[in-house]
Amino acid sequence: MTDLLRGLLVRLRAILHPRAADQDLDDEIRFHLDQETARYLAQGLSDDEARRRAMVAFGGVQQTRETHREVRGSRLVEEVIGDARFAFRALGRSPGLASAAVVTLALGVGAITAIFSAVNAVMLRPLPFAEPERLVMLWEESAEREWVRVSASPANFLDWREQVSGLEAAAAYAEFNDRITLLDEKGPQLLSSALVTGDFFDVLGVRAQVGRGFRAEETWRRASPVVVLSDRAWRTKFGGDPGVVGRMVDLDGRRVEVIGVMAAGFAFPWEDVDAWRPFDWNVDAGNHASFRRAHWLRVIGRLAPGVTIEQAGQQLATVAGRLREQYPETNATLGAGMTPLREFLVGDTRKPLLILLGAVTLLLLISCANVGNLLLVQAGNRAREVSVRLALGAGRMRLVRQAVTESLVLSFLGGAAGLLVGALGTRLLAAMLPAGILRVSDFGMDWRVLAFVLLIVTVSGLLFGMAPALWNAGRQPAEALREGGRSGGQGQRSRRWGSALVVAEVALALLLTVGAGLLVRSFIELRRVDPGFEPDGVVTVSLVLPEARYDSAPKIHAFYDQLVERVSALPGISDAAVVRQLPLGRPSWSSGFAVAGRPVTAASQAVDVVHREISPEYFRTLRVPLLRGRQFTRADGQGSEPVVIINEALARAQFRGQDPVGQRVSYDREPDSTSNWYTIVGVVGSEHQQSPAQAPLMEIFSPLHQESMRGMVLVARTTGDPATAAPAIHRIVADLDPTLAIRSTQTLNEVAARSVALQRFLMTLLVAFAAVGATLAVVGVYGVLAQVVRQRTREMGIRIALGAGTGDVQWLVVRHGLVLAAVGLAIGAAVALVATRAVRGILYGVPAADPITFAVAASLLGLTVLAASWLPARRASRADPAVALRSE
Amino acid sequence: MPPRPTADVVRGTLDLLVLRTLALQPMHGWGISQRIEQVSRGLLDVNQGSLYPALQRLEQKGWIASRWQVTENNRRAKYYELTSLGRRSLGIETAEWRRYVATVELILGGAS
């Protein structure tokens, strides 16, 4: 082994110190020749003769040196260095061209670097957990209810954990962010907390940096509540004091012991998590029907060593089948499944990211084509040099290598600049990215990004270097000399290459423009959707009342009644109300639904409705129209008849041809003897609960005064600027309860904008990429036409001399540009018809093959090409016949 | 005139001869060339110069090592010696060569 290593060192030294190796060899040869000469002298030969014989016996000294160098591998290195040096000199001779190429490449490489950084952070970088490949996400599903990957009920989760032997362990977390109020000397602050099982940290394989994580038994209710802090919360709210462990803090009015701080960088299940708390379930909770009925747990399993996800998945399906028979009342339609945790977390972001990656790849290809074109022009200008070298016997391979080295040098310069652009772009991207869309907020560069950039830089260097290289190599010296003899001459072949590149550029640019256009159209359609309410002028303030001090319905109702009353009385506020959840936000809770007097069937059991609690003024405040019946009033309270209002979507789907008002319905649990029945008193227009792209769900509203929800959102319609109303509302909240923390304040328009933030983000990026791509393509067209005009100056001059009009000559050039554009557009359109299928999934209200978008994109590009042809055309028409003819 | 073997055979044989020579004792390039000339009795029509690239090749493989030393006549010369890897390789190569020669012999013997 050491011998091999030593051999390697010898090789390395020979390459790194070629001169020392040469010196060594020369010394050796001199010694050899001296010895040999001495031998001949000893045989009695004369000095000269002895030396001559020695030389003959040795063979060629120079040849030995060459062969020695070849063995050492330094000849190749020397040539490559020579090529690179030559390339730098050549680029230095045409700084304009070099910088144009570098800037073009920097744009292409920078864009792809930034997007790839995001792809890397979300899809490639390993999850920050121990052995993440063994982690899986488990979920429930129901074909009948159209449930896909829904969260699990606690009882089902516990059964899975017991019975699926392929799982080494399984933990769960609540899928909702449980906002809790931390009260200390700095006043009330709201923490984002996750409810988890006691073995949550163990299953993920993460440790506390101070103190400890939870123990498995802490899932269940105990005398003293505990909390674990995230590194972020520990630093920002507790000053990074290690002494915080063991301290009692006031959380939601309860004394809770801080037992640990998790390591920095661990932010799961969401980025802004401040604290984790155990579920605190009652041991006898399993007896409650809701423990199996309500679905709100995300379940993470760790596969046992050697068990595949397919095996564990089959076991899970078997267990789910058993539970279906065991608990028909709750599980009749339920199945279960699992997927790798990463796959689940990447989820919906995969498609947008891949679309962006596709777009920047197109952009990079356009930049490559453009640089290829520039190099072709340069090759044309150097035709004479090349032909002389060819005629003098330079090897063709040598010329190809020379050209490729030149383009590699160029692409590495461009790549370095692109890395800078990419670093900036990554920041820009992080700043532009709507919060909560990607799982990670930090997508800095790492070795994967650098390796990727190195790869694409090399590939693009080879790509755009190939055209001029092959063109040069394929030339016959005679042809080359003939052409080179003419001033600025460039052959037909070169022009064909250039035209092909430009056609490709136009086609790629059309692809990008069509993609961007489709997203723009889709976004316009989205913004046109009537959300079912009037968001203008409405300000919203989210609140959570701590359980410890608001432990009964009357206390909660009293607080919200006063809040609504005092906010309504503020000047500049016309209406105010509270609602459990804003429309166009995250989907609300859903449950089964039944109508009194109708038989329970499989179909009726599969119906899912969402439900929200509201104060009576809600519909008036948001301007949701009342279609039938009445609104809630203060009289709809505890002790009076339970009432609900349904939305139009529900009325239409479940009460076709009937008057729903007066009918009695049940929801939130399966209908049985103990069901609560509610009388429908009104029908209102449907709001889009999730996003404008998703049709309104069937929904039931119940009066806050017949329920008791601690977390509500105040909505207030202002007559002026909604943002200015916020401070006055905050003062009222502080006045009502100074220990309350406000969760968030935003206008309803901001909420609405957020529901289409991803679409806006994608659209903005694609439009930017398309603009850059189109610009590059047009520059490419211009470059080729300018070259054509330069080459044909003589022809133009003759035409003018023979009486051709300015218009004729201009048309000649413009026609050339138009032909290129038309071919490019035709190819691009054909490809786009297929390629736009990739974006079909994210379009709203626009078909992927939308003829309007195609037409607009094509004519926009066509017109810009026309404009780009104009300048060279004008120059051509100004060709002075005398000058043109004399120049030959 | 002695038969002229093809270049590939020469190269393989040369490597083998160098290793064989160095198996006896460390030696400088000239010494090796003298030794090979004696042993092969001029059968191999090889330039002495082609020895040096071969030495470099063997050193890069880690089969031989070199160092500068002073000769009896007080001159600096580069001495080569067999490494343990080279010794093992010599055994293997020799066996290979014998098998090769035997095979060729077999074919030729069958033909005549």
Q: Which domain CATH number covers B97?
A: 1.10.10.10
Query: What DSSP assignment string belongs to B44-65?
Result: S---GGGHHHHHHHHHHHTSEE
How many whole angstroms separate alpha carbon A187 and alpha carbon A56? 99
How many whole angstroms separate alpha carbon A372 and alpha carbon A130? 47
Instruction: Give the least confident one: A113-117, A302-306, A673-677.
Output: A673-677
Q: Look at the block and give the residue holding tokens 């590059």.
A: A776
Q: Evaluate the omega torsion of the peptide bond into residue A872 and state whether it is cis, within 30 degrees of 0.
A: no
- The residues with which A25 forms a beta bridge, in sequence order, are none
Contact check, Cβ <8 Å, B78/A36: no
Q: What angle do CA A280, A278, A690 make, to 5 degrees?
A: 100
Non-local CB neighbours of A825 within 8 Å, separated by 6+ positions: A506, A507, A510, A858, A861, A862
Question: B63: which chain A residues are within 8 Å (Cβ-Cβ)?
Answer: 3, 7
Task: Identify the pLDDT of residue A502.
Answer: 87
Q: DSSP secondary-structure letter at A544?
A: E
CA–CA min distance B34, chain A (Å): 9
Give mean pLDDT, residues A800-816.
Answer: 82
Contact check, Cβ <8 Å, A71/B57: yes
Whether the pLDDT of residue A606 is over 70: the answer is: yes
Tell me the ipTM for this assembly: 0.88
* Closest by CA position to A498, among listed A771, A782, A772, A818: A782
Report the residue of chain B nearest A24, measured CA to CA: B78
Higher pLDDT, A731 or A675: A731
Helix (H, G, I), strand (E, B) or coil at A82: helix
How many whole angstroms separate alpha carbon B3 and alpha carbon B45? 8
Q: Are A334 and A463 in contact (CB under 8 A)?
A: no
- Provide the token pair at A356: 């962006």
Task: Identify the pLDDT of residue A832.
Answer: 93
Task: Identify the pLDDT of residue A276.
Answer: 95
CA–CA min distance B103, chain A (Å): 31
Question: B29: which chain A residues are within 8 Å (Cβ-Cβ)?
Answer: 28, 31-32
Q: Look at the block and give the residue holding tokens 């010696």.
A: B81
Task: Identify the pLDDT of residue B11.
Answer: 64
Instruction: Give the least confident one: A162-171, A329-338, A558-567.
Output: A329-338
Question: A32: which chain B residues are within 8 Å (Cβ-Cβ)?
Answer: 29-30, 33, 48
pLDDT-derived band at B2 (thresholds 50, 70, 90) equals very low
Task: Identify the pLDDT of residue A700.
Answer: 94
Report the residue of chain B nearest A36, measured CA to CA: B30
Contact check, Cβ <8 Å, A59/B48: yes
Give mean pLDDT, residues B105-111.
Answer: 77
- Mean pLDDT, chain A, rounded, equals 86
Higher pLDDT, A619 or A382: A619
* Closest by CA position to A619, among listed A703, A533, A531: A533
Higher pLDDT, A711 or A386: A711
Query: What digits encode the pLDDT tens for the residues A486-504?
Result: 444 455 666 777 788 889 9
- Provide the token pair at A559: 């607080």
Instruction: Give the least confident one: A430-444, A630-644, B43-57.
Output: A430-444
For residue A196, the surrounding DSSP H or E stretch is strand A187-196
- Other Cβ atoms less than 10 A from the Cβ of A284: the count is 9
Give mean pLDDT, residues B77-100.
Answer: 90
Whether the pLDDT of residue B69 is over 70: the answer is: yes
Sign of the CA dihedral with A730 first, then A731, A733, and A737 last = positive
Q: Which of A24, A61, A72 sits opposite B49 (nearest CB)?
A: A61
Report the residue of chain B nearest A56, measured CA to CA: B47
Non-local CB neighbours of A155 within 8 Å, separated by 6+ positions: A286, A291, A292
How many whole angstroms separate alpha carbon A762 and alpha carbon A753? 14
In angstroms, the Cα distances linking A306 to A310, A340, A750, A885 are 12, 15, 49, 83
Non-local CB neighbours of A803 within 8 Å, separated by 6+ positions: none
Contact check, Cβ <8 Å, B29/A32: yes
Query: What digits encode the pLDDT tens for the residues A744-762?
Result: 889 999 999 888 888 899 9
| B1 occurs within a structural domain | no
Instruction: Give the least confident one: A384-388, A721-725, A843-847.
Output: A384-388
- Provide the token pair at A874: 């004008």
Question: A67: which chain B residues are within 8 Å (Cβ-Cβ)?
Answer: 50, 52-53
CA–CA min distance A53, chain B (Å): 12
Task: Identify the pLDDT of residue A484.
Answer: 46
How many whole angstroms separate alpha carbon B7 and alpha carbon B54? 13
pLDDT-derived band at A393 (thresholds 50, 70, 90) equals low
Instruction: Give the least confident one: A24-38, A452-466, A790-804, B37-51.
Output: B37-51
| B100 occurs within a structural domain | yes
CA–CA min distance B111, chain A (Å): 38
| B2 occurs within a structural domain | no
What letter represents residue A469's amino acid? Answer: A
Instruction: Give the least confident one: A39-43, A763-767, A794-798.
Output: A794-798
Task: Identify the pLDDT of residue A4.
Answer: 82
Q: DSSP secondary-structure letter at A710?
A: S
- Helix B51-61 vs helix A2-16: crossing angle, to nearest 10: 120
Task: Identify the pLDDT of residue A249.
Answer: 93
Question: B36: which chain A residues are within 8 Å (Cβ-Cβ)?
Answer: none
Non-local CB neighbours of A438 within 8 Å, separated by 6+ positions: A118, A121, A122, A349
pLDDT-derived band at A885 (thresholds 50, 70, 90) equals low
Contact check, Cβ <8 Å, A3/B50: no
- The residues with which B68 forms a beta bridge, in sequence order, are B78
3-state SS record for A725-750 = HHHHHHHHHHHHCCCCCEEEEEEHHH
Q: Which of A6, A34, A61 sits opposite B62 (nearest CB)?
A: A6
* Closest by CA position to A470, among listed A557, A562, A401, A560: A401
Query: What digits encode the pLDDT tens for the residues A28-57?
Result: 999 989 988 988 898 888 889 999 888 888
**Domain residue limits at B91:** 7-111
- Provide the token pair at A286: 């399993």
Q: Are A793 and A877 in contact (CB under 8 A)?
A: no
What letter represents residue B9's amino acid? Answer: V
Percentage of chain A modeled with pLDDT above 70: 92
Domain count along chain B: 1
For residue A95, the surrounding DSSP H or E stretch is helix A95-119
Which sequence spans correspond to the domains of chain A?
2-72, 146-332, 349-527+757-886, 550-738
Q: Are A690 and A715 in contact (CB under 8 A)?
A: no
pLDDT-derived band at B3 (thresholds 50, 70, 90) equals very low
Question: A13: which chain B residues are within 8 Å (Cβ-Cβ)?
Answer: none
How many whole angstroms separate alpha carbon B48 and alpha carbon B50? 6
Whether the pLDDT of residue A485 is over 50: the answer is: no
Task: Identify the pLDDT of residue A487.
Answer: 41
3-state SS record for A775-813 = HHHHHHHHHHHHHHHHHCHHHHHHHHHCCCCHHHHHHHH
How many whole angstroms separate alpha carbon A74 and alpha carbon A21? 10
- Provide the token pair at A767: 């439009």
Beta strands in A476-629 (DSSP E): 538-544, 573-579, 590-591, 593-595, 609-614, 626-629
Chain centroid to CA A561: how far? Answer: 44
Whether the pLDDT of residue B44 is over 70: the answer is: no
Contact check, Cβ <8 Å, A36/B52: no
Q: Is A170 exposed, middle or buried (0-12, 13-18, 19+ CB in 10 A)?
A: buried
Helix (H, G, I), strand (E, B) or coil at A104: helix
* Closest by CA position to B19, among listed B69, B111, B90, B103: B90
Chain A residues with CB-CB distance to B under 8 A? Answer: 3-8, 10-11, 14, 24-25, 27-29, 31-32, 34-36, 57-61, 63-64, 67-68, 70-72
Query: What digits encode the pLDDT tens for the residues B6-25?
Result: 455 566 778 888 898 899 88
Query: What digits encode the pLDDT tens for the residues A322-359?
Result: 999 988 877 888 899 999 998 888 887 888 889 999 99
In angstroms, the Cα distances linking A318 to A97, A154, A294, A684 are 68, 18, 22, 44
Percentage of chain A modeled with pLDDT above 90: 41
Chain centroid to CA A11: how far? Answer: 46
- Provide the token pair at B98: 């014998």
